Amino acid sequence: MKVAVVGATGMVGEVMLKVLEERNFPFTELMLVASERSVGKEIKFKNKTYKVIGLADAVANKPDVALFSAGGDTSLEWAPKFAEAGTTVIDNSSAWRMDTTKKLIVPEINADQLTKADKIIANPNCSTIQLVMTLAPLHKKYGIKRIIVSTYQSITGTGLKAVKQLENELAGVKGEMAYPYPIHKNAIPHCDVFEENGYTKEEMKLVRETQKILDDRSIAVTATAVRIPTEGGHSESVNIEFENDFDVTDIRKLLSQTPGVVVQDNTDVNTYPMPIYANGKDDVFVGRIRRDGSQPNSLNLWIVSDNLRKGAATNTIQIAEYLVAHNLI
């Protein structure tokens, strides 16, 4: 099994290598791929030193699977070239997610859609993954009418430039800005770029990707995405209106029985999900589960997950594991 990690020098790429090692992913050859400016850079992995190669060389080497986290433009140009060479691409950018011919996969929810014919597979946005991991079992049992989600997103979602901006602000030094404003002691309601409708692309990803993954365009979704100076993961406050009534105890039990979801919910002892706890873990943590008494059949909950792991690298590698386990690559 020849594996390429495309975007190996980025934050998600680094976590992909960590997760590949942790999960002992079965590869016989590994290619670390990045832009021309990084070609030749040496990266240590599993006690071996790898030299970063360029995209054209990687395509020519015909990997069986390419794990992409290299931005939308690179994916739009190069994913088809890898696919034409017979490689199955799993892409973390937003480039292919809403393409009607491409599948948008969270393995615990819809991996059974995958076939050998899928040569470019889209990995959902990090904030979408943790949301649908929680909503999928609830939608199946109670039917979701409407979702209101507010996110509190880690600067790691923006990348190294944002982490550096916070470091500089904490050190009191001037430096390159990842955001239009300081992020230290701040909350910026602006993730990605604004669309015509006044929402950001990040907010519309939550709307569109949730409907696609749950395969139900009737679900009404509205979102506000906010950037905050944390590093351990994305947090989300979610209000859900169901078609049917429910018992909170049953909801808690259903979520605690959902693979990949961990319920942390005991306010008597201040137990609830937080990024400092989720950091470095693959689970989606859910707490503050409580009925919304302001309208019928409605629930509030709080979701936290490490956006670089289940939100990106781990979900990508779980898709690759599924493909291997089902002889689809």
Interface ranges with ligand 2RA (CB under 6 A): 125-127, 153, 157-158, 191, 202, 307
Report the nearest approach of ligand 2RA to the CB of residue 230 (Å).
11
Q: Alpha-carbon distance 109 to 115, whole Å?
A: 15
Instruction: Compute the least distance from the CB of residue 127 to ligand 2RA, in Å.
Output: 5
> Binding site annotation covers 11?
yes
Q: Which CB, 307 or 318, lies closer to ligand 2RA?
A: 307
Rounded to a whole number of angstroms, the minimum distance from the CB of residue 105 to ligand 2RA is 17
Q: Is 234 a catalytic residue?
A: yes
Q: Is 143 annotated as a binding residue?
A: no
DSSP per-residue letters across 260-315:
TEEE--BGGGTB---HHHHTT--SEEEEEEEE-TTSTTEEEEEEEE-TTIIIIIHH
C-beta closer to ligand 2RA: residue 88 or 235: 235
The least CB distance from residue 92 to ligand 2RA, in Å, is 8
Of 9 and 127, the one with the shorter C-beta distance to ligand 2RA is 127
16 is known to lie in a ligand binding site: no
> Is 298 annotated for ligand binding?
no
Residue 34 C-alpha from the chain's centroid: 20
Residue whose C-beta lies closest to ligand 2RA: 157
Judged by beta carbon, residue 74 or residue 307, the one nearer ligand 2RA is 307
Is there a binding annotation on residue 10?
yes
CA 283 from chain centre, in angstroms, equals: 12
Please indicate whether residue 191 is annotated as part of the active site.
Answer: no
Catalogue the active-site residues: 126, 234
Binding residues for phosphate: 97
Binding residues: 9-12, 37-38, 97, 153, 227, 307
Binding residues for NADP(+): 9-12, 37-38, 307
